[in-house]
């Protein structure tokens, strides 16, 4: 089953492997990768979903951009 897991972490209270300099910071780890892709685009839902689709390694054709 293909899926995207969304997790939230408080980088002020936890050590992270990434350099966090601003909040919120969005990072995407493609399946099987240990290096994150940092998001720097528009904060609208549609833009974030398209960014996830762009970097996903599996089939994301069923992902919808509306709520």
Answer CATH for 1-60 from 3.40.30.10, 1.10.1740.10, 3.20.20.140, 3.30.930.10: 3.40.30.10
More confident residue, 5 or 20: 20
Average pLDDT, the chain: 83
> How do residues 26-53 score in pLDDT, each as one tens digit?
998 888 888 889 999 998 988 988 898 8
Q: How far apart are the first and last CA of the chain?
A: 21
Tell whether the model's pLDDT for residue 17 goes beyond 70: yes
Q: What share of the chain is helix, strand, coil (3-state, %, to 5)?
A: 15, 5, 80
Rounded CA gap, 18 and 36, in Å?
8
Rounded CA gap, 19 and 52, in Å?
20
Rounded CA gap, 15 and 43, in Å?
25
Q: Which two tokens stand for residue 3?
A: 């899926």
pTM, 2 dp:
0.70
pLDDT at 1: 46
| pLDDT tier for residue 67 given thresholds of 50, 70 and 90 | low
């Amino acid at each position: 089953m293909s899926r995207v897991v969304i997790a939230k972490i408080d980088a002020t209270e936890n050590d992270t492997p990434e350099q966090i300099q601003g909040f919120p910071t969005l990072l995407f780890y493609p399946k099987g990768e240990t290096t994150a892709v940092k998001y720097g685009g528009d904060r609208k839902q549609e833009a974030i979903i398209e960014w996830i689709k762009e970097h996903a390694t599996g089939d994301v054709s069923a992902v919808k951009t509306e709520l």
